[in-house]
Structures are given as C-alpha cells and as structure tokens.
C-alpha cells in the first residue's frame, strides 16, 4: 500500500511539472471515484487508483510497459533527426514520464517495439546476455537460395565483429522472403548479415520478441497497448 500527495501522483503519471499538476487540481480538473479533488496536498492510495483528468480515465501505474506496432518512417529516438519519433505515436504523458524505446528498429523497419520508463527493464531487455530471440520477416532484393539460407545459419563475418554471426533459425518463406530468428541484436544485424551473404534487404519486419507476438496483441500499424504481467512473462528467456 502506498500513498502519495495528489500533485505527486499526477506528476509521476506524466501530466507535467509539479506546478502545472497543482494548477490542474486546483482548477477542479481531477476526479477520483466521481468526486472532484481540488486540494493538491490530498494523500491518495495508489494501488488500484483510477484518475479522471480532463474527462479521460487514467489508471495509476508505477511504471508503464508498452508494445507498439511501429510503422515505417518513424525513428526510435527521443531526438529524431529526419523522421518523426515513435513517441509521437503515444499520448503526451509518456514523453513527460520519460518513456523510451527498448532497443531500436531502423526508421524503415516495421513491427513490434517495446517501450518503457523502467530503467532496469530496459537494460535487461537490451542486454545481449539475455539471449531473447527476435523473429524477423525479411524481404530480399535478390532471390532467396538454399546457399543463402545455409550461410545465414552457419554464420557470416561482419567487418566489425570478432567472430561470425549466425541466425538461430532461418526459413525461406517465398522467392524473396526469409523468416530469420536472432538472439544477438547487433546494429543493423539482419541487413548486414544479408549483405555479407551476397543479398540485400529490401524490407524488414519484426513480428515477435521472446514469446510475445504482434499477432497475439492484435495491433495494427501505429497502434499501441499496455503490457500486463502475463505478457511481460513471455519476454523472459525460457
């Protein structure tokens, strides 16, 4: 059980600075259980707390864990340079509470992207020591051959890596389609591995992280959802 003053609750949930949150409360814009609370010093129980701010309901969450179906031409950066950032696809509150992408997808890569404001979670999910498999669908420029599949499975040498990198699995899905499973998560790894094997990646999509799939989440491009405990457990290596 944890109690916080109402202004601290609003600030922790990303509604703005402490000063702004106090003004929201004093203006009567915060409702709890149908009752307007206009005293920012009011202590409220955070467990199970549901706030209504500007007529929109928000459930209190100490941390947020989010799955986003990233569209193409969005950058996984808080300071994007050439394309909109993925945070523009989320409510503004998430920017205020310092939600960040877990790892990166290239601006032209689509698919499952995790986001959170929980530092240890971000670090754990990003660590190569975790060996969390990630499933990609790659569209190749040239035809897929068995030789290409065999190379990706046996390992290809990238110029800045000390040892060859191999796919955990690689299955041909069409003349120009591969399903590739990786554990390492190196920079531009799928694209660089395909190039090293003599092909070229024309399009890339991530459909799965660990046991969590976009299909099960039912998200469309640009949509997001909260991840609950059962879904987060799918991200733990087996």
Q: Under CATH, what is the fold of the domain 65-128+212-233?
A: Alpha-Beta Plaits (3.30.70)
User: What's the predicted TM-score (pTM) here?
Assistant: 0.91
Domain edges within the chain: 3-59, 65-128+212-233, 133-209
Q: Which residues contact 104 (CB under 8 A, 6 or more apart)?
A: 76
pLDDT tens for 18-58 read 999 999 999 999 999 889 999 999 999 999 999 999 989 99
If we measure between CA atoms, which residue out of 75, 73, 102 comes closest to residue 86?
75
CATH 3.10.290.10 fits 3-59, yes or no: yes
Same fold, 3-59 and 65-128+212-233: no
Q: Residue 59 is encoded by which pair of tokens?
A: 């459930």
Cα distance between residue 149 and residue 39, in whole Å? 64
pLDDT value of position 238: 60
Distance CA 110, CA 106 (A): 8
From the list 128, 142, 102, the residue with the least C-alpha distance to 185 is 128
Report the run of H or E that residue 101 belongs to, with start and end: strand 100-101
Across the chain, mean pLDDT equals 92
Distance between CA atoms of residues 13 and 154, nearest Å: 47
- Which residues have a catalytic role annotated? 106
Which backbone phi and psi does 62 adopt, to 5 degrees?
Answer: -60, -40
Q: Cβ–Cβ contacts within 10 Å for residue 78, how many?
A: 13
**pLDDT-derived band of residue 1, with 50, 70 and 90 as boundaries?**
low
The CATH T-level fold of domain 133-209 is: Alpha-Beta Plaits (3.30.70)
Inter-residue contact 194 to 218 (CB < 8 Å) = no
Residue 115 clears pLDDT 70, i.e. is over it: yes
- In this structure, of 100-104, 185-189, 209-213, the range with the lowest mean pLDDT score is 185-189
What would the pLDDT profile of 129-155 be if each residue is shown by its tens digit? 778 899 999 999 999 999 999 999 999
Please provide the DSSP assignment of 183-234 as one string.
SS--TTHHHHHHHHTT--EEEEEEEEETTEEHHHHTPPTT-EEE--HHHHHT
Residues 6+ apart with CB under 8 A from 65: 114, 115, 116, 118, 121, 226, 227, 232
């Amino acid at each position: 059980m944890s109690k916080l003053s109402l202004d601290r609750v609003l600030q922790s949930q990303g509604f703005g600075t402490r000063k702004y949150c106090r003004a929201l409360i004093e203006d009567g814009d915060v409702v709890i259980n149908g009752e307007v609370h206009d005293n920012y010093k009011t202590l409220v129980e955070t467990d199970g707390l549901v706030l209504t701010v500007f007529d929109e309901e928000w459930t209190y969450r100490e941390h947020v864990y989010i799955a986003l179906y990233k569209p193409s031409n969005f950058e996984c950066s808080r300071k994007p340079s050439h394309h909109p950032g993925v945070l523009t696809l989320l409510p503004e509150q998430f920017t205020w509470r310092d939600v960040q992408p877990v790892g990166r997808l290239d601006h032209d890569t689509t698919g499952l992207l995790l986001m959170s404001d929980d530092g240890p979670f971000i670090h754990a999910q990003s660590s190569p020591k975790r060996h969390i498999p990630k499933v990609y669908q790659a569209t190749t420029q040239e035809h897929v051959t068995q030789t290409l599949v065999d190379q990706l499975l046996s390992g290809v040498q990238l110029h800045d890596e000390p040892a060859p990198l191999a796919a955990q699995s690689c299955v041909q899905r069409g003349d120009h389609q591969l399903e590739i499973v990786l554990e390492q998560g190196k920079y531009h790894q799928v694209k660089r591995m395909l190039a090293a094997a003599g092909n070229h990646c024309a399009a890339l999509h991530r459909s799965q992280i660990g046991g969590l799939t976009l299909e099960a989440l039912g998200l469309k491009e640009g949509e997001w959802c909260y991840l609950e405990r059962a879904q987060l457990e799918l991200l733990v290596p087996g």
